[in-house]
Structures are given as structure tokens and as C-alpha cells.
Amino acid sequence: MSLSARDQEVIWHPYTQMKTAAPPIPIVRGEGALLFTETGEAYIDAVSSWWVNLHGHAHPYIAQKVAEQLRTLEHVIFAGFTHPAAVELAERLLQVLPKGQTKIFYSDNGSTAVEVALKMAIQFWHNHGIPKTRIIAFRNSYHGDTFGAMSISGRSTFTAPFQAYLFEVDFIDVPVPGHEQETLAQLEALLQQNDKAAFIYEPLVLGTAGMVMYSPEILDKLVALCRQHQVLTIADEVMTGFGRTGKIFASHYLSHTPDMVCLSKGLTGGTMALGVTSCSDQLYKAFLHDDKSKTFFHGHSYTANPVACAAGLASLDLLLQEQTQQRMARIGDMHRLFAKQIQNLPHVKEVRQQGTILALEFEAETTSYFNNLRDLLYNYALRQGLILRPLGNIIYCIPPYCITDEQLEQVYKTMEGMRLLVGSSQRG
């Protein structure tokens, strides 16, 4: 029995309608930007396997550091104990995070990093005896699939079955170009009420919303306004962190820094699950008290897993190398050149680019994850030897930094083919 057939006997896949989905493609090996099937076919991983892979698959340096850690210490309870990898990773992250971050809290993934930040923000005000409980977020944003993270994400078909269990949130429009003042006015109106605990945002790029982009200038104004009204700010850099936007963190484009930052995905270079929530000293000190009820009661069995921390340290080593920085700049330059070439061609509604992130929105009756173009574009990319996972009628490329010029050119050629495919499908 093939690996794919065996999979179908026992596995339920994420974001997949199992009744109608095609059999999963069995991947048995990875190298650089390529993934190989059991029959030897190669795919360019142009989406970094859900945006997590920074340096390429099966990177020998990360593998070496993980193996060394496994032979030394695989795990230890993190309540009352610590270990070198967790301490060193925290120290090094604080050196590169936006200024003002002083403490690192470990968890398991992006959703839990967000849950931690939400709980910290709400309990911060509770510990001070101030009744601030409401959260502000961008409309159509995405922060994870756990219940708190779902609550502050865009309400849609994905969250409909759980609507009754989600807490109320104050949503404001994304300040896309031409609508900045509307968003600013919406936030100003909400801040006149004194019940707002925090504002959480995906800085510069809303990933799952369709790689929706907005300027650092308007985000700076929104963060400054929150600070003026004593509302905490949370930068969800789970997707945008570790160089995706052209700087190590998207928050580095701003002069006003957040009170908390959420990290995951590229944190370990795509090697294994790990989440981080960093915070300012002001926030941390609100939990220091003789009254033990003011403790932050949150933790995970695998908090600060040493092997994951070792992967994080190795990935950070690679990320900060001059060679990696040059690769990121090269990808951004190539993206910009291609964007100029295709942006005014038929069937292209809009091209968006920030750093190593490139998105093409094709003309369609509706912009939706369930747009019929999705399967058409996805299968076309697979036939060209690429993994490109469309968000409805929006196709994007977020490649590993090791991707070659030739591989990127193949991505662009495929996107151009998609444009023609969209045109022919609309005529048909």
C-alpha cells in the first residue's frame, strides 16, 4: 500500500474537506527549497511549508545543533527549572526584538503565543484593579485557531460553528492605502471608552486575509494613539517575523514599539513547534507581588523544550549571517521587478509586495477562500512543480531564503501562466 493510501486510512488533515480532497502528496525528503515525493518528483516549496521554513529543508547546521541537544537534554519541566538553550535563546531574541522587550515567555506555537499575550494584557489590568477587558483588532485578521485567537480574528465560515463561544471584540478596518484616516478615526472613537485592554495587530501584512498590506506610517500612528490612551499593544509577528518583511521584525519599521510581541513559525527555521511571547518590563512588573493570586497562571508541558530552543538558536545564527541578509534583499528585489512587470496586465487586479512576500490578486467576482479559482490555481502550480497555496483568488510567494534565482523565475513563470489561466476560465 502506498504512503498516500496508508495516510488516508488513519489521518485527518487540517483545513481539508476529507470527502472531496485529492489524496495527499507523499513527501519523503527535503533539500534547500525543494521537497521530494516517494517517486522522486521535486516541488519548489514557494510557501515555505505554511510560512515556517527560513533557510531550506533539512538544513545541516540546524540538524547538527538539534542532534547535539538531543544527546544532552531532550526535555525538562520548566516550572522551577531552567536550561542553557532556553536562557541563551531568550537573551539573543531580546537583542534583536524591538526595543523595550525585556522578558520572554515560551509556549508551543503561534496560537498559544497569542493566547499568552491576550491573557497577559487582560490580567495586567486586573492586577492593577482597573476594569479594562476589551480587545481591539483588525477586521478580517487572523491570529490562530484556539478560542481566544479565534475571537480576535475575522469572523467567517471558519469560526461560524463556534460563534456563541467567542468573546466580543472591537474590530477596526485595516488601514489600506487611501483609507488610513478612516481607520484612525475608528480607533480614536473606540479609545474614548475606558474599557480597552489591548490592541493586537499583524504588522504591515495580514497573511491569511490575503496578504493585505498597509504602511508602517499609519501603524505608527495607531500604536502611538493606543499608548496615549494607556492601551497595551500586541504585535503578532508570527508570520512577519524573522525577515519576511525585509527587516528582522516588521515592528522595526516603526518608531513606536509594542508592549508585547508574538513569535512562532520561522522561530526555529521551520524545524519544530515553538512559540514566544515577549513583553516590556512595565507589563512584567504588574505580576510581581506578594499576593500569589497575581501570578501569571499559564504553562505547557513542552514549555521551552530544549530541542526546539536549540533549533531556534541555530536558525537565528543563520538568519543573522550577512549571506542570509543578502539573500533576503535579492528576493525582495526580484519580487519588485516581477511585480512591476505584471501589475498592469489583464486579469491582475492588484500586486502587493513587502520584503520577501509577494501576492497577486486576480480579478474575480468575489475575493474569498472558497473562490472557485483556488483549486484551479493550486492544481496548475502542482503541475508546474510548485507548491503555491492560493487564498481564493489570491496567489502568494513566501519562499525560503535559500531559493535560487532560477527557482524564483519558475515561480514567476507559473504566476504568469496562472494569469492566462484565469483569463481563459473567465472566457469559458
For 169, counting Cβ atoms within 10 Å of its Cβ (0-12 exposed, 13-18 middle, 19+ buried), the class is middle
Chain CA centroid to CA 78, Å: 26
Domains and their CATH numbers in the chain: 3-58+321-427 (3.90.1150.10), 73-319 (3.40.640.10)
pLDDT of residue 216: 98
Measured CA angle at 201 (ends 238, 199), to 5 deg: 130
Amino acid present at 185: A
Q: Residue 106 catalytic?
A: no
Reported as a single tens digit per residue, the pLDDT across 66-87 is 999 999 999 999 999 999 999 9
The torsion angles phi and psi of 37, rounded to 5 degrees, stand at -85, 175
Reported as a single tens digit per residue, the pLDDT across 184-222 is 999 999 999 999 999 999 999 999 999 999 999 999 999
Give CA–CA dist 327/241, Å, rounded. 16
pLDDT of residue 428: 57
Which of 196, 265, 302, 412 is the catalytic position? 265
Q: Residue 15 catalytic?
A: yes
Amino acid present at 102: T
pLDDT of residue 368: 66
Which of 43, 106, 142, 412 is the catalytic position? 142
Q: Residue 142 catalytic?
A: yes
pLDDT of residue 370: 73
Which of 45, 108, 170, 236 is the catalytic position? 236
Q: Are 362 and 347 in contact (CB under 8 A)?
A: yes
Which of 15, 195, 285, 413 is the catalytic position? 15
Count CB-CB contacts under 10 A for residue 424: 9
Q: Residue 99 catalytic?
A: no
Weakly modelled stretches of the chain, pLDDT under 70: 367-369, 371, 427-428
